[in-house]
Structure 1
Amino acid sequence: METIVSTKILTETQQSVLLGLDIQLIEHNFVSINLLPIKLTLPYNLLIFTSQNAVRSVLQHPLATALKNSLVLCVGERTAQLLEKSGFTVCCSFHYATDLTKYLSANLKEFEEMHRIAFFAGTQRLETLPQFFAKHLPNVEEITAYQTELTPITIHKKVDGILFFSPSGVESYHSCNPAGEEKVFCIGDTTAEAAQRYWKDVVIAEKPTIDSVLAQVRDMR
């Protein structure tokens, strides 16, 4: 029986994808998220979200309802679903931040003419969007909406596979567990880039979703 470590605790529905496989699943949240109080200065012409955590943080704000009149762009299928479920209108969603920058570049004049754009991010956000905004869209206000904290544990047994869902998860796991010959399954390109610094056998999910990561594990058994 092989041992698979998920660096995120899975829901029962997600676990069901792996039912019937001859594996032992070890689950732990190697990253914890703390939603932060944010300051909003309305109105905003456009809102940009790159994670569900940023959406949850904004929804805590007493002015959240007023934001629902703004246009929204986001990264992530689940992020878009949460936004729409919460009453926001998502104009476009993208798999990766790099896809979003390409869209912004192609429509740069439209976004340059917007007076105020809010970008909601976490403390460990990548530089892809901030660097683009600094160069092309100085009218973007970055708002730190949540804090990412590493919460590693040591796995005291031989591990055959690891599931990673963020670069922070990679760093958290590796801080207490040396890399070996494990097969690593990653949710997307940026997570895979982080994992490839330590592991050789890295598989990237076909879509950047948890379900797609689990499907890769199931299909490779």
Structure 2
Amino acid sequence: MQKILFTKKGLDRKMISKELGENLDIDFVDVLSFENLKIPTFDLKNKSLIFTSVQGVNAFFENGFSPNENFVEKDFNKIYTVGKKSKNALRKHGFGTFKIKNNAKDLAKFIIENFNKENFLHFCGNLALDTLQVQFKNEKIKYKKVVVYNTKFRYPEIENPFDEVVFFSPSGVQSFVKYNKIEGKKIFSIGETTTKEIEKFTKDEIYTSEESTLEDLLHLIKNKL
């Protein structure tokens, strides 16, 4: 029986088994851990907010922040997210999302083309990529990172053999490959940014989902196994 390893715990095993079938040995390993930081709240008036992870959303509200939503005004008080999970996390707290994109590059492109007069705050982790920062700096867009959680590498050592491995983030890739080889494995990735990181460690083919969702990733896996 083929064994597929997901580099994240807390996923819905029943949903995965239902989608992929019963002829796979499914296993999970946590490659990262997250620690929310305590920071003093400050006024968010006339600021638009960006969230690129669920952890960023959760840490934002845990610190006592609350958005000043105003989707009518053109140049401020909007909320942007990367990925549906971030959007859904905001919804649980009663807030909507003005625009959602699959990755930071696409989000930056949308903002630059449509609403570049805004003043942006990006609530993120300590390992957040500089994609937005670089793109906005080139366009002279006001942007600031607010680090609200730390990402820690767990560096697991996988003793049992596996045939396929599924990655969910660049930092997850970095943590996994420290003690585990991925050459000769069938590799699945949840998005282009993660795939670019995987390419640093293997020349093998990488199967990348078009949407940054578990559902789309599982559909891809099912079609390629």
The alpha-carbon deviation at position 13 of structure 1 amounts to: 4.3
Q: Counterpart of 2:162 in 1: which secondary structure?
A: coil
Deviation at 1:37, TM superposition (A): 1.6
> CA distance change for structure 1 residues 36 and 13 in 2, over 3 Å: closer, same or farther?
farther
Residue 123 of structure 2 contacts residue 147 of structure 2 at CA under 8 Å; is this kept in 1?
A: yes
Partner of 1:142: 145
1:159 maps to a residue whose letter is F
**CA RMSD for the aligned pairs?**
1.9
User: What is the aligned partner in structure 2 of residue 38 from structure 1?
Assistant: 39
2:108 and 2:136 in contact (8 A); partners too: no
Equivalent pair of 1:21/1:218 in contact (CA under 8 Å): no
Question: Offset of 1:157 from its aligned partner?
Answer: 2.8
Distance 2:146 2:53 in 1: 13
Letter paired with 2:52? T
Of 57, 80, 87 in structure 1, the residue corresponding to residue 87 of structure 2 is: 80
Q: 2:211 aligns with which of 196, 207, 218?
A: 207
Name the structure 2 match of 1:48: 50
Contact 2:20 2:221 in 1 (8 A): no
User: What amino acid is aligned across from residue 183 of structure 2 in structure 1?
Assistant: G
- Supply the AA of the counterpart residue of 2:218: L
Report how far residue 57 of structure 1 moved. 0.5
2:23: which partner in 1? 22
Say which SS state the counterpart of residue 47 (structure 1) adopts. strand
What is aligned with 1:220?
A: 224
Q: What are the residue-to-residue correspondences of 1:1-221 with 2, within 5 Å?
A: 1-9=1-9, 10-18=11-19, 20-42=21-43, 43-62=45-64, 64-65=65-66, 67-68=68-69, 70-107=77-114, 110-112=115-117, 114=118, 116-199=119-202, 200-221=204-225
Identity across the alignment (%):
26
Q: Any stretches of 5+ residues in structure 1 without a counterpart?
A: none
Asked if structure 2 preserves the Cα contact closer than 8 Å seen for 1:14 and 1:211, the reply is no
Unaligned stretches of 5+ residues in structure 2: 71-76
- Structure 1 runs (4+) deviating above 6 angstroms are none
Structure-1-length-normalised TM-score: 0.89
Q: Quick one: structure 1 residues 111 and 41, their matched pair in 2 at CA, closer, same or farther if it must change by over 3 Å?
A: farther
